[in-house]
Amino acid sequence: MAAQFWYDGAWTDENPKLTGPADHSFWLSSVVFDGARAFGRCAPDLDLHCQRVVHSALALGLVPTMTAEEIQRLALEGIRRFPPTAELYVKPMFFTLGGSIATGTAKTAFVLHIFDAPLPGEGGFSATLSPLRRPAPEMAPTDAKASCLYPNSSRATREAEGRGFEAAVMRDPWDNVAEFAFANLWIVKNGVALTPTDNRTFLAGITRNRTMTLLNEAGVEAREATLSARDLDEADEIFSTGNYGKIVPCTRYEGRELNTGPIAQLAKRRYFEWARATSID
């Protein structure tokens, strides 16, 4: 996998060795990251992803060593190190070095990782309702894209895979549907596109918000709603939005086969039409 890393003022194609057992990030997970996409020399919403990684750092008690604007300029420089046709994942990260138990005793550092990551094809995915849940805001740093939140998402996905599914639907502590383990969730019912209300148990994603705007501009009602497991059972369409896959249809939910519906198709078409107008050249 072709990759470029920026750390401590220099680019390298070697995976840098950055932490050890004495570093706060290594043993207490004081790490935040974000994920943007670049393809065909387009970098949709790169500015918002760079802003969010700075916000995530602050939410976790880190002291960002770079501004969002500096990260964006560096990311654009890194993207241009790849061929124009490359499909890339752009991952800025803040982490801590040294320190004791308290986050504030450690030094915040920054690394940027950009690597080849082809966009998913036209196929969809299967999903099931997970017994595992997203935490309440009082239980975890849910307002940050924090690495410490992801082991539970991996656990949910592993449990779903053990039952023959590819993705897990996670609920919040109050039985509302929150999201897929690694992406935001949408359903379509009677021509209306609905995504779970942002109640701070999950990140209401940048691609999610962009999709909502683009669908409404196209004349499709797209909005937040409090969703239950029953709403998924009765949905006409289910699809995901997220940075890695952008818009991907769920084609089997529990034992029910689903088509790639017209709203998901429209959302994907509108998104990529918009994204390809964001050329960095």
Greatest Cα pair distance, the chain, in angstroms, is 55
As beta bridge partners, residue 103 has none
Average confidence (pLDDT) over 19-28: 96
Same domain (yes/no): 99, 143 = no
Confidence (pLDDT) at 186: 98
Same domain, 201 and 182: yes
219 and 173 within one domain: yes
Quick check: is 46 in a domain?
A: yes
Give the ranges where 99-235 is alpha helix by DSSP (H). Answer: 150-162, 206-217, 229-233
Shared domain check, 230 and 146? yes
* 186 assigned to some structural domain: yes
148 and 261 fall within a common domain? yes
CATH number at residue 151: 3.20.10.10
Do 240 and 110 reside in the same domain of the chain?
no
Domain range for 111 is 3-116
| Mean pLDDT for all residues in the chain | 97
Q: Is 166 part of a structural domain of the chain?
A: yes
| Domain match, 63 and 167 both | no
Question: Tokens in use for 177?
Answer: 């549907």
Q: How confident is residue 278, by pLDDT bands cut at 50, 70 and 90?
A: confident
- 266: in domain: yes
Whether 6 shows a pLDDT value over 80: the answer reads yes
Cα separation, 198 vs 195, in Å, equals 9
For residues 94 and 62, the answer to whether their CB atoms sit within 8 Å is: yes
Q: For the domain that residue 19 is a member of, what is the CATH number? A: 3.30.470.10
Q: 116, 139, 163: which is the final residue of a domain?
A: 116
User: Quick one: what percent of the chain has pLDDT higher than 90?
Assistant: 95
> Helices in 16-127 by DSSP H: which ranges?
24-28, 46-59, 68-79
Tell which of 84, 116, 148 closes a domain: 116
For 143-168, the pLDDT digits (tens) are 999 999 999 999 999 999 999 999 99
pLDDT beyond 90 at 281: no
Mean pLDDT calculated for residue range 56-67: 97
SS (H, E, C) 226-249: CCCHHHHHCCCEEEEEECCCEEEE
Q: Are residues 102 and 32 in the same domain?
A: yes
Show which of 116, 148, 176 is a domain's final residue: 116
Whether residues 98 and 185 share a domain: the answer is no
For 258-261, the CB contacts below 8 A with 24+ separation are 258/124, 260/124, 261/188, 261/236, 261/237
Q: Count the domains in the chain.
A: 2
Residue 141 in any domain: the answer is yes
Instruction: For residue 280, tell me if it sits in a domain.
Output: no
Give the ranges where 163-195 is alpha helix by DSSP (H).
none
Give me the helix-helix angle, 262-275 and 206-217, nearest 10°.
Answer: 110
Residues 100 and 15 in one domain: yes
In-domain check, residue 281: no
DSSP secondary structure letter of residue 105: G
At 104, is the pLDDT very low, low, confident or very high (cuts 50, 70, 90)? Answer: confident
**Same domain (yes/no): 155, 247:** yes
69 and 183 belong to one structural domain: no
Read off the tokens for 139.
């239980």
Residue 122 reports pLDDT greater than 90: no
